Chains A and B, each alone.
Chain A
Amino acid sequence: MVFNTGAALLDAIVLATVSHEDEGTYGYKITQDVRSAIEISESTLYPVLRRLQKDECLEVYDRQIDGRNRRYYRVTEKGVAQLNLYWIEWKNYTGKINRLFEGGATA
């Protein structure tokens, strides 16, 4: 990918991904979903999930799957508020960038 994904954007992407699942989702699936949009290495997401969990944007709970515990992540109220903030900021940011492109060489 040409553009870098900073820490805040990565937080936003992970929050958005997890928020699609009402029941919550788990590490492997989050990684696959995020990787369908941006190129990141598989080891990038654990620290992000851990940080969001500590910041109380994500909550975790264990569910029994095939005789073992699987850790599920779910967006908290604070996480939803944070995600909405990111969503607004992202629209502002991309809107400005888009206007720059649209007034540029191809116009």
Chain B
Amino acid sequence: MKRREFMAELSSLLISLPLEERNEALAYYEAYFDDAGADKEEEVIRELKSPRDVAATIIQNADQGSYNTASSQEVPYNPGRGQQEGSHVNSQNNSVLKIVVLILAIIILGPVVIPVAFSIVVAIAALFFSILIASFAIAIAGVATLVLGFALLIPELVVGIAVIGIGLILLAIGIVASVASVRLCMVGIPGICRFIVNVCRMPFNRKVVA
């Protein structure tokens, strides 16, 4: 790495600093290279390790701010302290921003999203309910046909037996369908509820991850 590349990278790494602090640090290192001389350029770059290391040292200490050297003996040297406070403030700003965005989203999208979601839920519930009712109806029709079959046994034995057979088949289909649709509701409705809750929770989950 050459001096020019080194300084360019350092400059971009210090972008978070106030302009004055950044210019001051860059001027210092430019002068440092000048004073070391062109023949020591490589040595200085090797000693400084990387722009990243230099930038980290500067930013750490800039965050920490100036402390009065008269009391510095009592101040434990803790270079990480300033940085932690900085990132804490950042994440607070972040969550405030997210809450604002969320509220705006609710105000703007609410009138559309809430009725649409509500109708989807109602439609799915109605679908399940109608399947359940249809299954019961088939079973009831089976029972009715069975009764009719017994009634027909006396005038028309063969027709009566056939109708009883149809009635039994309908009853069997109805019972199986009823049991199946009850199971469907038991599995399906909580599943849909969980899905909706998860969808509503999504923005909050992202916040926790970030």
Contacts and interface: CB of A to CB of B under 8 A. Distances in A.
B47 interface: yes
A27 B73 contact: no
A57 to B, nearest CB: 6
Contacts of B57: 43-44, 46-47
Interface in B1-60: 24-25, 27-29, 31-32, 34-36, 44, 47-49, 53-54, 57-58, 60
B72 interface: yes
A57 B68 CA distance: 10
A69 B35 CA distance: 11
B31 A43 contact: no
A71 interface: yes
Interface in B74-112: 75, 77
B35 A70 contact: yes
- Which range contains the number of A residues in contact with the other chain? 20 to 34
Given A7-B77, A43-B49, A43-B53, A27 B28 contact: yes
Label chain B's interface by main secondary structure. Answer: helix
B205 interface: no
Contact of A26 (B24, B35, B54, B73): B35
Contacts of B70: 82, 85
Given A28-B36, A41-B49, A46 B28 contact: yes
Contacts of B27: 71
A99 interface: no
Nearest to B59: A47
A24 to B, nearest CB: 14
B58 A46 contact: yes
B69 A70 contact: no
B47 A41 contact: yes
Given A46-B28, A47-B60, A47-B62, 6 more contacts: A11-B72, A26-B35, A50-B61, A52-B69, A55-B67, A85-B70
20 contacts: A8-B77, A27-B35, A28-B31, A28-B35, A41-B47, A41-B53, A42-B48, A44-B57, A46-B25, A46-B28, A46-B57, A47-B60, A49-B28, A50-B25, A51-B61, A54-B66, A55-B66, A55-B67, A55-B68, A68-B34
